[in-house]
């Protein structure tokens, strides 16, 4: 599992470790990892041109020490200082001793001679962003923005891209868009959460020894392949269809029968022993999935289920939603169900609830503009979870799952999943995982991961039916690598 820790936690861990190691040891460890990553991106270090954009914090010191290492390997390294009066003196001395060149922005002076910054940056083979550290807030200042506009080469950010918020992933102004980010000691939440995640590029974590001091309460988790494989339910020798769980699907309408078919398609491949469909699209569902148990009366009279998934293509049929809201089993609400659900009724539920909005639906529930939700994804998901008591899966290229059990981000998302009906497949899939016994956080997290993996395995471009079909291959891939008990 990939874990990310808050700035406060990382700084506390650094202070504790620094009391146990020689002065400057952590920065040297970070610089060594950063220099190695830069050398890897350059391919050939000797004769290459590297520019360091250096701010006043420790990130600037890391960049300077890494630049010194690259200079000793034959690279031509130039450091552009944005705050010469507050530069890291040890790093600056190391760079100069290694033969590096020091410039200042916006004008430049090298040992009394004027040197223009613009061509130095424009001709660089690699630019290292050491402008702002993890304690920065807000967008970049105009002087930094002017320098970034000159960049024509790949960019490596030190710890995180300058201008993004390390704890929230928010980007409130101009920020660096890196090709790679080399982070130290622990991932920071902003590296995993949009919109900052889009600025980070490829991530590389350098171990500087913080692990024992970070504690066991990460701010954000991201499940990996093996984690999900171990979560997926597996039938035992004594299993029957009821012991494996029955998921009830309340979806579709005369206008949107396809939503019901797609939700059932996801549910059939979610590990539950049986799928029970209730609604007006029964004929369409049985035609596509003859193994489905169908009925058209009130959902509460349809027979026992271990979880409900409701809302996809429901239209204005609020009665079916209100019939399942009091049920003492896990409940997933998607699409039209989100619009029809009453917040007080959600808070009153005793069993776990999962809400799966996209940004527009979350904005409507919160009474905000969609752009505001997209700019503040973590805060928006947390507020919606707090207001409803539910676990909230906020869809997006990096889907967020936020609930009483913690915060997770899904790494398998893809823009190819942004097509009609894929959300219906996801709702059925998560509903099936809930019926199979996973708790709300695990079901939503694992469902998003499997769904994203199926999107990657689908043909290009993929429709929702293609994604549903690919769920089987995704499961097979995950079970193969899921540890003990794998089938």
Q: Which residues are annotated as a binding site for (6S)-NADPHX?
A: 58-62, 133-139, 159, 259, 313, 358, 424
Per-residue DSSP letter, 390: S
Contact 248, 321 (CB under 8 A): no
Question: Is the Cβ–Cβ distance between 454 and 473 less than 8 Å?
Answer: yes
Question: Which two tokens mark 115?
Answer: 């040197």
DSSP string computed for 373-402 = HHHTHHHHHHHHHHHH-SEEEE-STT-EEE
Residue 353 tokens read as 């609830």
Element (H, E) at 156: strand 155-158
Q: Which residues are annotated as a binding site?
A: 58-62, 129, 133-139, 159, 162, 259, 313, 358, 395-399, 423-424
**Which residues contribute to the annotated binding site for AMP?**
395-399, 423
CB atoms within 10 A of CB 220: 25
Tokens of 281: 């699209």
58-72 vs 89-97: helix crossing angle, rounded to 10: 10
Instruction: Give the whole-angstrom CA distance, residue 234 versus residue 394.
Output: 27
- Write phi, then psi, for 181 (nearest 5 degrees): -125, 125
Between CA 486 and CA 347 the distance in angstroms is 38
Q: Are 464 and 257 in contact (CB under 8 A)?
A: no
Q: Which residues are annotated as a binding site for K(+)?
A: 59, 129, 162
Buried b (16+ CB within 10 A) or exposed e, 452-482: bbbbbbbeeebebbbbbbbbeebbebbbeeb
Distance CA 93, CA 151 (A): 25
């Amino acid at each position: 599992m990939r874990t990310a820790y808050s700035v406060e936690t990382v700084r506390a861990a650094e202070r504790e470790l620094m009391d146990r190691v020689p002065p400057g040891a952590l920065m040297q460890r970070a610089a060594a990892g950063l220099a190695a990553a830069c050398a890897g991106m350059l391919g050939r270090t000797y004769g290459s041109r590297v520019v360091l954009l250096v701010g006043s914090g420790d990130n600037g010191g890391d960049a300077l020490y890494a630049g010194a290492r690259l200079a000793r390997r034959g690279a031509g390294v130039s450091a552009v200082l944005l705050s010469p009066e507050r530069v890291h003196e040890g790093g600056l001395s190391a760079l100069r001793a290694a033969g590096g060149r020091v410039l200042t922005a916006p004008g430049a002076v090298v040992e009394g001679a004027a040197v223009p910054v613009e061509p130095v940056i424009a001709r660089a083979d690699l630019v290292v962003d050491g402008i702002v550290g993890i304690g920065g807030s807000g967008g970049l200042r105009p002087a930094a923005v002017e320098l970034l506009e000159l960049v024509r080469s790949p960019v490596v950010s030190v710890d995180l891209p300058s201008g993004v918020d390390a704890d929230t992933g928010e980007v409130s102004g101009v920020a660096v868009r890196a090709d790679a980010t080399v982070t130290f000691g622990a991932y920071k939440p902003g590296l995993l959460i949009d919109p900052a995640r889009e600025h980070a590029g490829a991530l590389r974590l350098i171990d500087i020894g913080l692990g024992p001091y970070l504690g066991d309460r990460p701010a954000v988790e991201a499940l990996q392949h093996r984690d999900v494989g171990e979560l997926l339910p597996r039938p035992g020798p004594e299993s029957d269809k009821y012991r494996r769980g029955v998921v009830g699907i309340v979806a579709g309408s005369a206008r949107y029968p396809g939503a019901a078919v797609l939700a059932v398609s996801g549910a059939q491949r979610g590990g539950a022993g049986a799928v029970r469909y209730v609604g007006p699209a029964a004929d369409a569902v049985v035609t596509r999935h003859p193994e489905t148990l169908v009925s058209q009366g009130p959902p509460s009279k349809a027979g026992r289920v271990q979880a409900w998934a409701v809302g996809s293509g429901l239209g204005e049929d609020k009665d079916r939603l209100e019939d399942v809201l009091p049920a003492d089993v896990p409940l997933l609400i998607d699409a039209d169900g989100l619009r029809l659900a009453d917040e007080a009724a959600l808070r009153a539920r005793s069993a776990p609830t999962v809400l799966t909005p996209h940004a527009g639906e979350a904005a409507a529930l919160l009474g905000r503009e969609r752009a505001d939700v997209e700019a503040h994804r973590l805060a928006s998901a947390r507020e919606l979870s707090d207001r409803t008591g539910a676990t909230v899966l906020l869809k997006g290229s990096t889907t967020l799952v936020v609930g009483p059990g913690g915060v997770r981000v899904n790494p398998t998302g893809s823009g190819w999943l942004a097509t009609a009906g894929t959300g219906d497949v996801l709702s059925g899939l998560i509903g099936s995982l809930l019926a199979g016994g996973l708790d709300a956080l695990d079901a939503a997290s694992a469902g998003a991961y499997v769904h994203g993996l199926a999107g990657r395995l689908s043909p290009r471009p993929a429709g929702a039916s293609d994604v549903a079909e690919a769920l089987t291959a995704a499961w097979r891939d995950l079970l193969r690598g899921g540890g003990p008990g794998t089938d």
